[in-house]
Amino acid sequence: MKLIYTDSLVVGAGLAGLRVAIASKERGLDTLVLSLIPAKRSHSAAAQGGMQASLGNTVKGMGDDEDVHFQDTVKGSDWGCDQEVARMFAHCAPKAVRELANWGVPWTRVTKGPRQVVVNAEKVTIEEAEEAHGLINARDFGGTKKWRTCYTADGTGHSLLYAVDNKAISLDIPVHERVEALALIHDGKRCHGVVARCLITGELRAYVAKSTTIATGGYGRIYEVSTNAIICEGIGQALALETGVATLGNMEAVQFHPTAIVPVGILTTEGCRGDGGLLRDKDGHRFMPDYEPEKKELASRDVVSRRMTEHMRKGKGVDSPYGPHLWLDITLLGRKHVETNLREVKEICENFLGIDPAEDWIPVRPTQHYSMGGIRTDAKGQSPQLKGLFSVGEAACWDMHGFNRLGGNSLAETVVGGMIIGKYVADFCEENTLEIDTALAERFVAQVRDEIDSLVEGQGSESAYELKREMQRIMMDYVGIFRNGPELTKAVEELEALLIRSRNLGLKCKKRHANPELVEALRVKRMIKVALTVACGAEARTESRGAHAREDYPQRNDKEWLNRTLSSWPSADATRPQLDYEALDVMKMELPPGYRGYGINNAIAHPDTEKREKQIVEILSNLGEEADRHERQHALMPFEVPESLREKNERLHDKPLGNSQQLGEESK
């Protein structure tokens, strides 16, 4: 058995994983990253529109700060998030954007003077301040009060990943590419690393470490049509699930993005609507204002996706050989804007649809896009059940997104979460020694070897490809945008049957080295378990919250469901996860549950909501008029971040303008 030791092991070389690795390495810890593919090809590179941070540089962002960003995030989550984590995040996001500027991200900048923008289908001229000239710009995104999404045209993920990976390279952080983690090494209380398989040679290795951070991204590909890369298959979540100890949080919270192109499901960024693009039906009618007069196309994604589906169900979709769709119209933005700020969208439309989006409407439909659920961690990013196991980015349920994440808050989560959790990971490595009986590592390697032996040498007859297709169809048909009891029960039963069939997989190609069929067989069993956590969680949750919309339980029910679903896998022969629930404490919330400002206002109130609202009024009036917003916030809900990140953020409108150093920042 090949044993490789390190201090900080990170599984995943996307933005989140690399940012944690950088934090460990900067503290002088031996650090190693594993990845299925070269780091720069990780899925983070696909992100288009931008990342949220309350810089408040642009005139449309004036008045923005952490408080507004926090409130937007909590409302976006439909009160499902951990408010303390949302606070940590909103506080650190401006620091992350500026750090990235220092690492070379070419953020789109503010140009002083007048510029024409499209707001609510009208061309208006806004005047950018002289003092803001050259500072980081921001665009509008769904569910936000201010223009807060910092961007580099519509290739933000690409720029960020290149900058962060180059930083990791400059620190000499090794990335073992084309290596797949298949099991966690643990003793039921402490995680000691992973068993991984080299995808080229087939070699099995034990990577043993003080801390193990899972940053493997989302599980979108358990669905048939998804905007996600084909490697976003949920294997990281399965690693935690299969320990039988670590839990997954809110797996039923799956986001559908309103505007993926039909039929292939490639994304056109929310930036299209943020910059003024409109949604139209088969008659060319702009329908969103009819449903959402306040936010229109820029309500949160769960709301827009549902409204689009509702509208298509009324027969207003455009018929196509691939089913009905609607139109995204960005022609009103003008060719120059499309070719500069939305050039990736332009290329996608040209290459995959053969149309010019500066002239033609784009056929779109809501499509699976983001996994709010993931490996449940505490605010420091560590699994509450398995010491030494951390998780970050889309793989995790940290949990700042609750039941719906806002556009631009995910890229931000990767680098902000990576920055914060990276420091806690480094603390953990410094405070703990590596004590492991290598027999334990050998036992886990043997288990994976046995699994491969039985696939390669066994007589199984089921096809991994077929089971995967079946699973994806079930998820698409029964666990989609609108859900109901009978269909969810059907999904659970059919997935259970698939899981049983997956115990009889057979291979046509018996090679042990580079063998895609073997890779697929090893993954599909794990993916079906992950799919079951989504379907079972959705079946059990008899309310509608954020992206989880039950037709048979249309109300958000804070009285009975203000909690987080925790899934664990009870035993190797189980066919369903065990579900437990973690209550969210209203009496500790800075922002008690209320109306989001968009979507349907039909929640059943939690019995503590009124009590907490009164308490908040009392706390604030006791503080008196002199208290500033930071003191008021602290009195309501204190939160911790690592010491080096505690500094308050400064903005143009905070104080009379001085030199750019006063702004804490960005080189112009």
Ligand X SMILES: Cc1cc2nc3c(=O)[nH]c(=O)nc-3n(C[C@H](O)[C@H](O)[C@H](O)COP(=O)(O)OP(=O)(O)OC[C@H]3O[C@@H](n4cnc5c(N)ncnc54)[C@H](O)[C@@H]3O)c2cc1C
179 or 328, CB closer to ligand X? 179
For β-strands 549-550 and 482-483, DSSP reports them as parallel
Contacts of 594 by beta carbon, 8 Å cutoff, 6+ apart: 79, 603, 609
Q: Helix (H, G, I), strand (E, B), or coil: what is residue 601? A: coil
Residue 43 is a binding residue for ligand X (CB under 6 A):
yes
Q: Which of 6, 8, 24, 48 binds ligand X (CB under 6 A)?
A: 48
Choose between 159 and 567: whose C-beta lies nearer to ligand X: 159
402 backbone φψ class: left, alpha, beta (φ>0; ψ -120 to 50)? left
Q: Nearest approach, Cβ of 83 to ligand X (angstroms)?
A: 20
- To ligand X, the closest distance from the beta carbon of 15 in angstroms equals 4
Question: Helices in 138-241 by DSSP H: which ranges?
Answer: 156-170, 235-241
Smallest gap from Cβ 225 to ligand X, in A, equals 12
* Separation between Cα atoms, residue 67 and residue 582, nearest integer Å: 26
For residue 9, the minimal CB distance to ligand X (Å) is 11
Stretch that binds ligand X, among 44-52, 126-134, 495-503, 632-640 (CB under 6 A): 44-52
Minimum distance of ligand X from residue 251's CB (angstroms): 16
Q: What is the spatial distance between Cα 422 and Cα 416, in angstroms, rounded to a whole number?
A: 9
Residue with smaller CB distance to ligand X, 31 or 414: 414
Separation of alpha carbons 238 and 222, rounded Å? 12
* Residue 410 CB, nearest approach to ligand X (Å): 4
- Residue 226 DSSP code: B
CB of 165 to ligand X, least distance (A): 10
Interaction pattern, residues 51-90, with ligand X; x per rule: CB under 6 A: x---------------------------------------
Q: How far is the CB of 196 from ligand X (least distance, A)?
A: 6
User: Does the footprint of ligand X cover residue 269 (CB under 6 A)?
Assistant: yes
Q: Taking the complex as a whole, how short is the minimal distance between the CB of residue 33 and ligand X, in angstroms?
A: 8
Of the candidates 153, 247, 178, 175, the residue with the CA atom closest to the CA atom of residue 37: 178
Q: Are 624 and 644 in contact (CB under 8 A)?
A: no
What's the token pair of residue 571? Answer: 């035993």
Residue 377: CB minimum distance to ligand X, A: 13
Q: Could you tell me whether strands 175-177 and 31-35 are parallel, antiparallel, or unpaired per DSSP bridges?
A: parallel
Least separation in angstroms between residue 125's CB and ligand X is: 27
Q: Are 242 and 225 in contact (CB under 8 A)?
A: no
Q: Which residues of 506-523 are buried (b: 16+ CB within 10 A; e: fewer)?
A: bbeeeeeeebebbbbbbb
DSSP 622: H
Query: Among this protein's residues, is 257 annotated catalytic?
Result: yes
Judged by CB under 6 A, the chain residues 351 through 370 that form the site for ligand X are 369-370
Q: How do strand 113-119 and strand 122-128 relate by DSSP bridges?
A: antiparallel
The window from 54-62, 173-181, 561-569, 639-647 that contacts ligand X (CB under 6 A) reads 173-181
Residue 436 Cβ vs ligand X, minimum distance, rounded to whole Å: 20
How far is the CA of 221 from the CAs of 21, 184, 217, 234, 464, in angstroms? Answer: 26, 22, 11, 8, 15
Binding mask 190-229 for ligand X (x = CB under 6 A): -------------------------xxx---------xx-
CA nearest to 43, candidates 52, 54, 35, 51: 35
> Which of 36, 53, 81, 328 is close enough to bind ligand X by CB under 6 A?
36
Among the residue ranges 34-42, 202-210, 341-349, 658-666, the one whose residues contact ligand X (CB under 6 A): 34-42
> Which of 257, 311, 550, 651 is labelled catalytic?
257
Is residue 46 part of the contact set for ligand X (CB under 6 A)? yes
Widest CA span of the chain, in angstroms? 76
Interacting residue with ligand X among 267, 338, 492, 534 (CB under 6 A): 267
Give the span between the Cα atoms of 12 and 305, in whole angstroms: 30
Taking CB under 6 A as the rule, which mask of x and - marks residues 382-411 in contact with ligand X? -----------xxx------------xxxx
Q: State how far the Cα of 404 lies from the Cα of 600, in Å rounded to an integer.
A: 15
Q: Which stretch binds ligand X (CB under 6 A): 45-53, 68-76, 445-453, 510-518?
A: 45-53
Rule CB under 6 A: is residue 168 a binding residue for ligand X? Answer: no
Q: Which is nearer to ligand X, 250 or 633 (CB)?
A: 250
Among 6, 17, 101, 536, binds ligand X (CB under 6 A): 17
Of 37 and 332, the one with the shorter C-beta distance to ligand X is 37
User: Using an 8 Å Cβ cutoff, are 34 and 21 in contact?
Assistant: no
Q: Which of 8, 10, 50, 397 binds ligand X (CB under 6 A)?
A: 50
Under the binding rule (CB under 6 A), the answer on residue 156 touching ligand X is yes
Contact (Cβ atoms closer than 8 angstroms) between residue 213 and residue 10: yes
Question: Are 471 and 527 a contacting pair, CB within 8 Å?
Answer: yes
156's tokens: 């933000």
Question: Considering beta carbons, is residue 480 or 592 the nearer one to ligand X?
Answer: 480
| Residue range at the interface with ligand X (CB under 6 A); choices 176-184, 300-308, 430-438, 642-650 | 176-184
Who's near 39: CB < 8 A, 6+ residues apart? 13, 14, 18, 33, 161, 165, 168, 175, 177
Say which amino acid occupies 452: I
Please report whether residue 633 would count as binding ligand X according to CB under 6 A: no
Residue 272 near residue 349, CB atoms below 8 Å: no
Q: Which is nearer to ligand X, 157 or 642 (CB)?
A: 157
* One-letter identity of residue 519: V
Q: Crossing angle for the helix pair 609-623 and 629-636, nearest 10 degrees? A: 140
91, 192, 197, 273: the active-site residue: 273
| Amino acid, res. 207 | Y
Question: Given the complex with ligand X, which of 78 and 394 has the nearer CB atom?
Answer: 394
The residue within the footprint of ligand X, chosen from 3, 4, 37, 574 (CB under 6 A), is: 37
Number of residues that bind ligand X (CB under 6 A): 47
Nearer to ligand X, 227 or 404 (CB): 227
Contact pattern from residue 233 through residue 262 relative to ligand X, giving x for each residue in contact according to CB under 6 A and a dash for the rest = --xx--------------------------
Residues 410-429 that bind ligand X (CB under 6 A): 410-412, 414
537's tokens: 């969680």
Residue-wise DSSP of 310-355: HHIIIIISBP-TT--BEEEE-GGG-HHHHHHHTHHHHHHHHHHH--
For residue 215, count other CB atoms closer than 10 A to its CB: 34
Residue in 9, 16, 85, 652 binding ligand X, rule: CB under 6 A:
16
Positions touching ligand X (CB under 6 A) are: 11-17, 34-37, 42-44, 46-51, 156-157, 179-181, 215-217, 227-228, 231-232, 235-236, 267, 269, 369-370, 393-395, 408-412, 414
Catalytic residues: 257, 273
